[in-house]
Amino acid sequence: MGYDMRQVIIITAYKNEEQIYDIIKFFGGDFEFYIHIDKKSATHIRESRNVHVYKKYTVNWGSVNHLKTILFLSDEALKDVENGYFHLITGQDFPIKSKDYFCNELDTKKDYLEFSQLPSESWVDGGMSRIEYYNFHDLFDYKKKIGRLFIRGIVKIQKILKTKRRKTLKNFFQNLYGGSTYWSLTRSSLQHVIDSTNEKILSSMRFTFCVEEIYFQTVLLNSMFSNNITNDNLRYIDWVSGRGGYPAFLDETDYNIIKSSNKIFARKFHEKNSLELKALLLNNG
């Protein structure tokens, strides 16, 4: 691929300023950065020639505003015709391959996106309760006990009453797919997602749960771009150990398995506990 195609790092974040600056420093001036900071966050990132920072949405965990943020950043990045390949990450991710690998070895003619058809055995209710019931993550903070009780309680009542939403993504697409939020996409595929999005579709996703793990997969797998997708988002994520939560916070004990993987990013990095791992990655390419 070489340096003739500019790559873009799209970041959604709400904390870890130093981590974000480390990502920017790693890729340098050859890459473009489009960063959204949660509106309720005190985090501040300086803008520069290739660093574009926005604070447009309040993003509660699980709310549709996370998807809206991703769509907004993608649309902004596509406005620059020199931007050719796009990586979506968070402020808690970090590259685990060298910059040279990104520029000269990564096949940027392919789309990397994790997916499986819904309903999926690996998701609660096959993933369908995320869109078939009203999930009020937009109104309540799930991270707080009272918010969590409201959200869970309202979904439980809907299940007892056997009432489902009349309009969902099923009204717009033949098949539904889901997978990890994070991806690496070609310009053509990302543009297709943006061009396919309209107010009716966005309205159908209001009061859903983590619909950003469904929308990109569903749009692209129902399109002419489906044959270009590799079912691997090239992200190393530990869902097993539970160190600090799910996914786990990574540390130096993960170094060997990370370096031997085919992945290009890993998550999640802790601002303190992951410092030694980050140093190992930077010092050993």
Neighbours of 166 (CB within 10 A): 7
DSSP-derived 3-state class of residue 29: helix
Contact 197, 71 (CB under 8 A): yes
Quickly tell me which residue has 């398995």 as its tokens.
257
Looking at the predicted structure, is the pLDDT value of residue 237 above 70? yes
Contact 113, 220 (CB under 8 A): yes
What pLDDT was estimated at residue 171?
95
What does the pLDDT average to over 94-115?
96
What pLDDT was estimated at residue 4?
63
Contact 170, 218 (CB under 8 A): no
Candidates 185, 193, 244, 184; CA nearest to 214 is 193
User: pLDDT tens for residues 50-100?
Assistant: 999 999 999 999 999 999 999 999 999 999 999 999 999 999 999 999 999
Sign of CA dihedral 81, 88, 232, 65: negative
Q: Report the alpha-carbon distance of residue 195 to residue 206 in Å, rounded.
A: 19
User: Residue 196's pLDDT band (boundaries 50, 70, 90)?
Assistant: very high
In this structure, what token pair is assigned to residue 134?
A: 């009203």
What does the pLDDT average to over 220-236?
97
This prediction has a pTM of: 0.94
User: Residue 1's pLDDT band (boundaries 50, 70, 90)?
Assistant: very low
What does the pLDDT average to over 267-278?
91
Residue 130 DSSP label: H
What does the pLDDT average to over 192-196?
98
Sort 95 into a burial class: Cβ within 10 Å, 0-12 / 13-18 / 19+: buried
What does the pLDDT average to over 5-17?
94
What does the pLDDT average to over 3-18?
89
Q: Flag the least confident range among 44-48, 107-111, 222-226, 238-242.
A: 238-242
Residues composing the chain: 285
Neighbours of 4 (CB within 10 A): 7
User: Residue 285's pLDDT band (boundaries 50, 70, 90)?
Assistant: low
Contact 231, 115 (CB under 8 A): yes
Contact 96, 176 (CB under 8 A): no
Alpha-helical segments (H) within the chain: 17-27, 64-78, 99-104, 129-132, 145-161, 187-196, 199-204, 215-221, 255-259, 275-283
Domains and CATH numbers, the chain: 2-118+172-283 (3.90.550)
Looking at the predicted structure, is the pLDDT value of residue 2 above 60? no
